[in-house]
Amino acid sequence: MRIEKAKRIAELPPYLFAAIDSKKREMKKKGMDLIDFGIGDPDLPTPQSIIERLKKAAENPAYHRYPSYEGMIDFRKAVSRWYRRRFGVQLNPEAEVLSLIGSKEGIAHIPLAFVNPGDYVLVPSPGYPVYRVCTLFAGGIPYTMALRRENGFLPDFSEIPAEVAEKTKLLFINYPNNPTSAVAERSFYKEVVAFARHYNIMVCHDAAYSEVSFGGFLAPSFMEVEGAKEVGVEFHSLSKTFNMTGWRIGFAVGHEEIISGLGKVKTNIDSGVFQAIQEAGTFALENFDTPLPDIIGIYERRRSVLIKGLQEIGLKVDQPRATFYFWIEVPRGYTSAQFAALLIEEAGIVATPGNGFGDEGEGFIRMAITVDEQRIREAIERLKKIKF
């Protein structure tokens, strides 16, 4: 039998990390000790008390049955209380909060609820690749908003032609930002609300990194600005906040009808999050002040070591105010892929080529400080020996 993939799979953009993955395998085979800055996944464990709560909750037979797709009411109430505490935002837990199997799940499904074939969706470049792919899966047309250093890696809405904006259904934004580590202030979110209102565009703000920030900076929520709840939703996750990437729990909050549309897709696709995980997530949201100082302290120390080292070497990079990413300009004469290949071949250092996040990421590499301090120091020593 001939197996033919659907067009939506066959037409996906090429997997741009394939070259670096194969280089990694090749260098490992040669016995190279790799220091991997490529992974956007915390290396630190989930706080022990959250794990204990899961263990206890897993014993409850009521939790062994199907959960509700929208999430336990206790979890949704914990989300709404956390929003009030952290951002001063009021949410109705019954209608304005939805549990997700990680924020990726909600992001990937939302265009299925709202985008018709031929509708435009505004996606940032560089950006988290899921925005573009989920748009394509829904038959939508991704329209790139370039994030440039000179704009603080914020999109410039005046660059979007009116005829595109008029046919746009949905807008993805993400601050603190992966991969650039840029942050957004409330004034930017006000601009987003005005633009969305003008063209009747739904806003999907991905705030997965809101609780990874440094030097006392606290990322605002999109929901804090007037009118945000009338135009959009915000995606959140326990993944980076509590080092729970493997647990798969997140949530969406905001406009009631957008939440219910996403919920409608989910009732037909999944059956919610294991309730013992929801109970542990409820415990986490209710019992910790976020950002978690212990986790942030570790990242801050790593951040200082890496920024100092990279600047000594002469690489052009801004110190991140949030996220665990460093967005580094590649030296003149190299493409992102060439520079990433040089680092791995000459020094065993794995970084992600920026073009993997979209065309506008060309000319950069991303390094994630999900590596311990000692290894970062070692990486700097190795980098100092490379000529570029």
Ligand X SMILES: Cc1ncc(COP(=O)(O)O)c(C=O)c1O
In the complex, what is the shortest distance from the CB of residue 208 to ligand X, in angstroms, rounded to a whole number? 4
Structure token pair of residue 212: 């990874």
Within 10 A of 9 (CB to CB), how many other CB atoms are there? 10
Backbone angles phi, psi at 99, to 5 degrees: -80, 150
In the complex, what is the shortest distance from the CB of residue 313 to ligand X, in angstroms, rounded to a whole number? 26
In the complex, what is the shortest distance from the CB of residue 26 to ligand X, in angstroms, rounded to a whole number? 26
**Contact residue for ligand X among 128, 137, 195, 274 (CB under 6 A):** 128
Residues 310-339 that bind ligand X (CB under 6 A): none
Amino acid at 250: G
In the complex, what is the shortest distance from the CB of residue 250 to ligand X, in angstroms, rounded to a whole number? 4
Tell me the C-alpha to C-alpha distance, in Å, between residue 132 and each of 40, 96, 184: 19, 25, 21
In the complex, what is the shortest distance from the CB of residue 166 to ligand X, in angstroms, rounded to a whole number? 28
In the complex, what is the shortest distance from the CB of residue 188 to ligand X, in angstroms, rounded to a whole number? 17
Contact indicator for 285, 180 with CB cutoff of 8 Å: no
Give the range of 76-84, 88-96, 97-105, 150-158 binding ligand X by CB under 6 A. Answer: 97-105
- Told to check if 361 binds ligand X by CB under 6 A, we report no
In the complex, what is the shortest distance from the CB of residue 359 to ligand X, in angstroms, rounded to a whole number? 18
Tell me whether residue 165 or residue 302 sits nearer to ligand X (CB atom).
Answer: 302
- Told to check if 356 binds ligand X by CB under 6 A, we report no
Tell me whether residue 196 or residue 238 sits nearer to ligand X (CB atom).
Answer: 238
**Contact residue for ligand X among 245, 260, 304, 338 (CB under 6 A):** 245
Tell me whether residue 263 or residue 281 sits nearer to ligand X (CB atom).
Answer: 281
Binding residues for ligand X, total number by CB under 6 A: 13
* CA separation for the pair 354, 367 (Å, rounded): 10
**Contact residue for ligand X among 237, 243, 282, 290 (CB under 6 A):** 237
Tell me whether residue 178 or residue 275 sits nearer to ligand X (CB atom).
Answer: 178
- Told to check if 208 binds ligand X by CB under 6 A, we report yes
* CA separation for the pair 365, 351 (Å, rounded): 6
Residues 153-192 that bind ligand X (CB under 6 A): 174, 178
- Told to check if 239 binds ligand X by CB under 6 A, we report yes
In the complex, what is the shortest distance from the CB of residue 211 to ligand X, in angstroms, rounded to a whole number? 12
* CA separation for the pair 93, 77 (Å, rounded): 5
Tell me whether residue 206 or residue 234 sits nearer to ligand X (CB atom).
Answer: 206
- Told to check if 96 binds ligand X by CB under 6 A, we report no
In the complex, what is the shortest distance from the CB of residue 131 to ligand X, in angstroms, rounded to a whole number? 9
Within 10 A of 22 (CB to CB), how many other CB atoms are there? 10
Contact indicator for 377, 312 with CB cutoff of 8 Å: no
- Told to check if 104 binds ligand X by CB under 6 A, we report yes
**Contact residue for ligand X among 36, 70, 96, 206 (CB under 6 A):** 206
* CA separation for the pair 151, 173 (Å, rounded): 15
**Contact residue for ligand X among 38, 250, 263, 281 (CB under 6 A):** 250
Give the range of 31-39, 48-56, 90-98, 100-108 binding ligand X by CB under 6 A. Answer: 100-108
Residues 41-80 that bind ligand X (CB under 6 A): none
Structure token pair of residue 33: 């000790």
Binding residues for ligand X (CB under 6 A): 40, 102-104, 128, 174, 178, 206, 208, 237, 239, 245, 250
